[in-house]
Structure 1
């Protein structure tokens, strides 16, 4: 078995930004449109779109048109495992 450390490190790099991690966590719960993620994150659409592009390029999220809007979804499997691990290990009771 060969481990691709470069690909693994790239995944952690992408998920290391708090906004991207928040978006991934929200998308694991439900599909969201961009305007909903703007409200959740407090970011303007332009910087949020840059984060979403990185997540799409890493195959962690997908998107599809829904009328005039774009609906984003978490890719099942790796995305959910990454978010579950993170939330399980970094959630406090406070």
Structure 2
């Protein structure tokens, strides 16, 4: 089971500034996942994951939201990377 849920929403033409195709990222981790230390660790891992993968395979002009799940706390970073690639490929269709 992946350690996160990925939501992607393409911004409408009215929401885009002239030729603004920047990708935006939002990260949220609920208190149900753990205490502040655990949540902040997950957010740091998600930021690193997004910085690594979104420039290559993210969707231009879209908002990407990562919602952390409890299964992602101790999930190896390589597994998170493969989950992100799979999710982005699925969304791109």
Question: Which has the larger helix fraction?
Answer: 1
Larger RCO (CA within 8 A; separation ≥ 6):
2
TM-score exceeds 0.5: no
TM-score normalised to the size of structure 1?
A: 0.30
Question: Which has the larger strand fraction?
Answer: 2
TM-score normalised to the size of structure 2?
A: 0.30
